[in-house]
């Protein structure tokens, strides 16, 4: 099986790094955590997601888009353009006590965009290591960071087992107890947008904690779903509802700031949902932490006036590693040759114009924890239960 040794074409910055009317191309990259395949309106759920539904209907729904089965591997792939087997982050997630992170020899997406003149900001969940300062966001290309380093925390108290994990750049934030995380991160993202100098292009990475557990939401949102009998599902639905509202508020602020017409919005999950925590992936088999479709086939869409064809579904094969070379291409950045080479492909023409995907295969994982390889319409899985069992055992021990 061949791997991708893609070289990104050098293109004039004026052609590709511009949105509408010559304005710099802004990038708003949103990640919704543990989002079940069937839990967004355009996939048929009864959960209210009017903002995402409208944005997706005006853009391009990614119908054959894949991520990794759990948090850290997907985030490493998104920001590095490499399969997790090439970053050493394919086996499980990074726990707070573990002394490692996304290796520093990888130049990640915000670093490349910052070199090209972008203002780079991150609001939300990091989960790529924080045992030493060089592994944290403001040392890895972000002009500012507001969020948390670990994988999950209380959505209102912003702590994990009594330890506060909410930071404004490097400083702990201790005065936001009681504020829901989706509202908090949306408010901070709006602040970044309003403060942005529009003469420079903006890269805003907004990985929400929603809808990752613990399943918590303001009661007024929970009350909207009294028709759902299951407690976890009802609270999960409320979490989907409030993160949809947060996305609507952020995009509205982009409009008010005069940035929206030149903004490319990408919305992605990091893995499938967990049924025991309210997330549904029907009709896909499997769930978060599995290499079955329910774990790795991701909810995703793009929106932007620079898209050539809109209001459609893209059925081309895409993977989360593809965003790295695609966004560098759009920003007019030439990726330096590096080892290991990129696993992602430039998928701009596939998402924007409906052209065939340059990708023919996906290596979901290959080690003794499980093997899954996609080639065309075929998928090979071997020893797929170990990763799931180990992940669920870890979740149980943390609880």
Catalytic: which of 86, 127, 155, 319? 127
Q: 287 catalytic, yes or no?
A: no
Catalytic: which of 18, 71, 158, 196? 71
**C-alpha distance from residue 110 to each of 62, 119, 145, 205, 324 (Å):** 23, 9, 12, 9, 10
Q: 71 catalytic, yes or no?
A: yes
Nearest to 355 by CA among 293, 324, 312: 312
Active site residues: 71, 127
């Amino acid at each position: 099986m061949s791997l991708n040794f893609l070289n990104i074409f050098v293109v004039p910055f004026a052609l590709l790094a511009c949105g509408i009317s010559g304005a710099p191309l802004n990038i708003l990259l949103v990640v919704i955590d543990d989002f079940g395949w069937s839990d967004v309106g355009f996939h048929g759920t009864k959960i209210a997601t009017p903002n995402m539904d409208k944005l997706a209907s005006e853009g391009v729904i990614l119908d054959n888009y894949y991520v990794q089965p759990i948090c850290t591997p997907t985030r490493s792939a998104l920001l590095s353009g490499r399969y997790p087997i090439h970053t050493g982050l394919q086996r499980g997630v990074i726990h707070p006590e573990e002394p490692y992170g996304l290796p520093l020899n990888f130049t990640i997406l915000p670093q490349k965009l910052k070199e090209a003149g972008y203002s780079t900001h991150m609001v939300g969940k990091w989960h790529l290591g924080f045992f030493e300062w060089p592994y944290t966001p403001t040392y890895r290309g972000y002009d500012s960071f507001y969020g948390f380093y670990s994988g999950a925390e209380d959505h209102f108290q912003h702590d994990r087992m009594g330890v506060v994990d909410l930071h404004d750049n490097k400083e702990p934030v201790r005065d936001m107890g009681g504020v829901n995380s989706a509202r908090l991160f949306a408010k901070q993202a709006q602040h970044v947008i309003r403060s942005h100098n529009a003469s420079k292009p903006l890269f805003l990475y907004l990985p929400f904690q929603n809808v990752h557990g613990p399943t918590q939401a303001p009661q007024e949102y929970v009350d909207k779903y009294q028709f759902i009998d299951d407690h976890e599902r009802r609270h999960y639905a409320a979490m989907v509802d409030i993160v949809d509202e947060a996305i609507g508020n952020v995009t509205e602020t982009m409009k008010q700031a005069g940035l929206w017409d030149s903004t490319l919005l990408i919305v992605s999950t990091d893995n499938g949902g967990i049924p025991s925590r309210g997330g549904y992936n029907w009709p896909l088999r499997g769930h978060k932490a599995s290499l079955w479709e329910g774990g790795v086939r991701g909810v995703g869409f793009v929106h932007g006036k620079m898209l050539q064809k809109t209001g459609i579904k893209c059925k081309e094969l895409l993977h989360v590693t593809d965003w790295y070379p695609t966004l560098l291409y759009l920003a007019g950045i030439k990726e330096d040759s590096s080892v290991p080479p990129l696993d992602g492909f430039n998928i701009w023409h596939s998402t924007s114009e409906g052209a065939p995907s340059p990708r023919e295969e996906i290596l979901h994982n290959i080690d003794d924890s499980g093997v899954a390889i996609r080639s065309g319409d075929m998928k090979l899985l071997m020893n797929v239960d170990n990763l799931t069992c180990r992940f669920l055992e870890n979740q149980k021990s943390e609880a």
